[in-house]
């Protein structure tokens, strides 16, 4: 065993038996590099990463290659999910070299941590047009020994580029949401949904933006782009038609062939979108997709602590996708000939298969069943799922991440209200309790928990995502405890993560261990950016308190982050969605002792465009709040729809609330 045997990360533990003398990221590792006068080889990956496994099997488990690594380098292994700050900085460094990036990330650093060269996957010997890993190791080491000046120039150039990326962009006017939504809708694939080309990712932030615009304006192009994306994903192979949930992305433009890893964060963001669109469109397929996400969550991702695991691997038994694919003879053996024929007709199962001789179940080109046939197919899916459960499953990364759990808690709470699923709300509440009580770090939160060990301090996204989760649970329950936690974590972000010069949130605390630069990205990655979530949280907090100073605080922060979004709108869905909430959000005020009777009706409204305000007593709103004049008219219970500083008369029947909201626009 090497030093990774004491790691908390399942990804690092996958490498504990490598003959490579791995270090975890630490001051001691860099001190060793200085003592030995060797460069550092930094390898970054994650537990569900297929190509990370490939490079591990080919190189890190090879004693001869490991010997070269040990002789020439100090080798550091990092889990990008455990340390997203390290991953962000060194992936950005790779981009400055003109490389597209991806995982595994392989970077070469000097003994101070400054990057001077890198790449991603390297085969053990030259192939695929890529140099062999051993050749790369010897060349880099030789250069480090013989031409330190050149190494220094490379490191300085990359460092300057990283610093330049932190420069503030020129301020511009407020974005034109209608124009941006139209531009984005035109970029979406008219036939298959999603951004055109391959590989194809879900991009939930952009789908949300289009959904908002379509719902607000009635724009058919935006509405159709959002709907087509969700429908085609649900029909495609990226969707697990037996077990529920969605894979990370599709390698083709039709959503047929997934990269089979399943991540908590993708499904967290997709769940409320499927609930919203299923309700708007009345589409059974979309409702089944939402139900399937939660079924997968309950069956495969729920941990004894009550919170959710991070991911499921792409591979099982060392083969990508083996757990999920089928052959026609397998179906016939399990279902019998007649049922196998029926199932094959509706899920694209053929003798030759649709992927490497096997079949990825999908409904992209197959007929929609009649209701009675649909019921039969549902029974067949259950039988196949039971048979699949006997296979060796993909590996589970069972660390609990505060940010990803926060996203899923929020998604569950919102979808529960839209679809009337109290059990989903209970699931969200249990997960929230664990993170908020067992992952505490001072006034804030830790980032990761596994096997009794916390990785702290947390990152900006941990606090922003958990504040969003708290606000969603406050809306769903009216429990003030949730709202108080949302405010506490938002204040914590401003105190410890906000950069004085730019006004933006850093990814890490100001007092965190130094990296070559302190990252403060504003763009979304696979997860929404902390700045966008924080802006939306501040707006919802201001709506609840009704205090002008809270709204001014939210508006000031939003103004800071809009400049970055305006220069690269496609990368800033979360920021634009926060701006849409600020400009077009409608407040729904629940008042009176029996206001709870209106809560379910309010929760069924589109949460993307509404902000729920819980008024506990007639004088519970500040004097300046537009609903204040109506609050005493609430009687035993009423709801008020407020927009742009004005409120409609009280709604006294819960089933009239949606009608009142429509008239407010």
Partners of 308 in beta bridges: 302
Residue by residue, DSSP assigns 411-447 as HHHHHHHHHT-HHHHHHHHHHHHHHHHHSEETTEE-S
Phi-psi region at 393: left, alpha or beta (left = phi > 0; alpha = psi -120 to 50): beta
Tell me the β-bridge partners of 400.
449
Closest CA to 478 of 620, 661, 277, 581: 620
Q: Which two tokens stand for residue 374?
A: 């649909």
**pLDDT for residue 615 is more than 90:** no
Helix, strand, coil percentages in the chain from 3-state DSSP, rounded to 5: 50, 15, 35
CB atoms within 10 A of CB 34: 12
- Rounded Cα distance, 158 and 472, in Å: 42
Residues contacting residue 491 through CB under 8 Å, at least 6 positions apart: none
> Per residue in 107-116, pLDDT tens?
999 999 999 9
Count the Cβ atoms, other than its own, within 10 Å of residue 424: 27
Who wins on pLDDT, 226 or 169? 226
Tens digit of pLDDT for each residue in 33-48? 999 999 999 999 999 9
As given in the structure block, the two tokens for residue 640 are 């008020």
- Residue 153 has a pLDDT of 94
How far is Cα 618 from Cα 475, in angstroms, rounded to an integer? 19
Contact 239, 250 (CB under 8 A): no
Counting residues of the chain whose pLDDT is more than 70, the rounded percentage is 96
Mean pLDDT on 638-655: 87
What are the backbone angles phi and psi of residue 334, rounded to the nearest 5°? -85, -40
Q: For every residue of 250-290, which 3-state class applies, written as one string?
A: ECCCCCCCEECCEEHHHHHHHHHHHHHHHHHHCCHHHHHHH
CB 516 within 8 A of CB 574: no
* Averaged pLDDT for residues 355-365: 97
User: What residues are paired with 359 via a beta bridge?
Assistant: 326
User: Sorting pLDDT into bands at 50, 70 and 90, what band is 246?
Assistant: very high
CA 445 to chain centre: 18
Q: How confident is the model at residue 233 (pLDDT cuts 50, 70, 90)?
A: very high
Q: Is the peptide bond before 457 cis (omega within 30 degrees of 0)?
A: yes
Euclidean distance between CA atoms 552 and 547, whole angstroms: 9
Alpha carbon distance, N-terminus to C-terminus of the chain: 64
Supply the angle between the helices 596-603 and 657-664 in degrees, to the nearest 10: 60
Q: What is the pLDDT of residue 619?
A: 60
In the three-class reduction of DSSP (H, G, I as helix; E, B as strand; rest coil), residue 311 is classed as strand
Residue 499 clears pLDDT 80, i.e. is over it: yes
Structure confidence at residue 317 as a pLDDT band (50, 70, 90): very high
Question: Measured on CA atoms in the order 551, 553, 556, 560, is the torsion positive or negative?
Answer: negative
Nearest residue to 230 via CA among 283, 158, 299, 177: 283
Distances (CA, A) of 251 to 122, 208, 556: 20, 22, 41
Nearest-CA neighbor of 270 among 209, 202, 222?
A: 202
Residue 630 has pLDDT above 90, yes or no: no
Q: Is the predicted pLDDT of residue 173 greater than 90, yes or no? A: no
Instruction: Name the pTM for this structure.
Output: 0.96
Q: Which residues contact 80 (CB under 8 A, 6 or more apart)?
A: 44, 45, 46, 86, 87, 103, 105
Alpha helices (runs of H) in 457-572, residue ranges in sequence order: 460-477, 480-496, 530-545, 548-567
- Region 384-397 average pLDDT: 97
- Taking the CB of residue 97, how many other CB atoms lie within 10 A of it? 17
Confidence band of 285 (pLDDT split at 50, 70, 90): very high
Q: Quote the CA–CA distance of 335 and 231 in Å, as a whole number.
A: 27
Q: What is the pLDDT of residue 393?
A: 97
User: CA-CA distances (angstroms) from residue 23 to 27, 47, 59, 323?
Assistant: 10, 17, 17, 33
Q: How many whole angstroms separate alpha carbon 552 and alpha carbon 546?
A: 11
Which of 74-78, 483-487, 607-611 shows the lowest mean pLDDT across its residues? 607-611
Q: What's the 3-state SS for 94-150? A: HHHCCCCCCCCEEEEECCCCCEEEEECCCCCCCECCECCHHHHHHHHHHHHHHCHHH
């Amino acid at each position: 065993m090497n030093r990774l045997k004491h790691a908390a990360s399942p990804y690092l533990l996958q490498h504990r038996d490598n003959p490579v003398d791995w270090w975890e990221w630490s001051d001691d590792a860099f001190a060793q590099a200085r003592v030995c006068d060797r460069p550092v080889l930094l390898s970054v990956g994650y537990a569900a990463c297929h190509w990370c496994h490939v490079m591990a099997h080919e190189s890190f488990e090879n004693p001869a290659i490991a010997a070269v690594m040990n002789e020439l380098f100090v080798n550091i292994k990092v889990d990008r999910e455990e340390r997203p700050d390290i991953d962000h900085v060194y992936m950005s460094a790779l981009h400055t070299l003109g490389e597209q990036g991806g995982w595994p990330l392989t970077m070469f650093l000097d003994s101070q941590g400054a990057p001077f060269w890198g790449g991603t996957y390297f085969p053990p010997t030259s192939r695929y047009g890529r140099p062999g890993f051993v050749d790369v190791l010897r060349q880099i080491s030789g250069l480090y020994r013989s031409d330190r000046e050149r190494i220094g120039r490379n490191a300085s150039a990359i460092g300057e580029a990283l610093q330049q990326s932190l420069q503030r962009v020129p301020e511009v006017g407020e974005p034109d949401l209608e124009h941006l939504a139209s531009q984005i809708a035109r970029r979406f694939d008219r036939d298959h949904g999603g951004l055109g080309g391959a590989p194809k990712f879900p991009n939930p932030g952009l789908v949300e933006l289009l959904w908002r615009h379509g719902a607000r304006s009635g724009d058919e192009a935006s509405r159709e782009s959002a709907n087509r994306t969700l429908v085609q994903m649900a029909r495609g192979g990226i969707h697990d038609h037996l077990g529920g949930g969605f894979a990370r992305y599709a390698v083709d433009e039709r959503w047929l062939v997934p990269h089979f890893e399943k991540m908590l964060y993708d499904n967290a963001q997709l769940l409320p979108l499927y609930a919203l669109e299923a309700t708007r469109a009345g589409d059974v397929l979309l409702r089944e997709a939402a139900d399937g996400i939660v079924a997968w969550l309950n069956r495969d991702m729920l941990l004894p602590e009550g919170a959710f695991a991070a991911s499921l691997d792409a591979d099982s038994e060392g083969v990508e996708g083996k757990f999920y694919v089928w052959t026609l003879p397998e179906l016939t053996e399990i279902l019998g000939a007649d049922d196998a024929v029926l199932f094959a007709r509706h899920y694209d199962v053929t003798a030759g298969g649709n992927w490497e001789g096997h079949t990825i179940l999908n409904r992209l080109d197959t007929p929609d069943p009649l209701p009675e046939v649909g019921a039969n197919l549902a029974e067949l899916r259950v039988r196949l799922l039971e048979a699949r459960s006997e296979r060796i499953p993909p590996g589970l990364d069972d660390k609990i991440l505060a940010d990803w759990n926060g996203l899923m808690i929020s998604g569950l709470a919102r979808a529960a209200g839209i679809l009337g699923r109290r059990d989903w709300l209970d699931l969200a509440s249990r997960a929230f309790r664990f993170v908020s009580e067992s992952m505490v770090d001072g006034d804030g939160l830790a980032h990761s928990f596994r096997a009794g060990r916390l990785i702290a301090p947390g990152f900006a996204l941990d606090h922003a995502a958990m504040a969003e989760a708290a606000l969603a649970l406050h809306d769903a329950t009216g429990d003030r405890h949730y709202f108080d936690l949302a405010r506490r974590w938002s204040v914590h972000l401003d105190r410890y993560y906000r950069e004085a010069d730019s006004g933006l949130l850093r990814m890490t605390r100001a007092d965190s261990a130094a990296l070559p630069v302190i990252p403060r990205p504003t763009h979304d990655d696979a997860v929404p950016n902390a700045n966008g979530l924080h802006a939306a949280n501040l707006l919802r907090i201001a709506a609840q308190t009704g205090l002008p100073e809270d709204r001014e605080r939210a508006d000031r922060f939003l103004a800071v982050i809009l400049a970055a979004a305006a220069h690269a709108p496609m990368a800033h869905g979360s920021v634009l969605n926060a701006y849409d909430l600020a400009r077009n959000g409608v407040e729904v005020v629940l008042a009176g002792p029996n206001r709870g009777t209106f809560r379910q009706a309010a929760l069924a409204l589109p949460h993307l465009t509404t902000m729920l305000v819980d008024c506990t007593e007639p004088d519970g709103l500040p004097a300046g709040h537009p609903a204040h004049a109506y609050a005493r008219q609430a009687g035993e219970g009423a709801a008020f729809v407020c927009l742009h500083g004005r409120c409609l008369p009280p709604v006294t029947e819960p089933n009239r609330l949606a009608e009142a909201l429509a008239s407010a626009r």
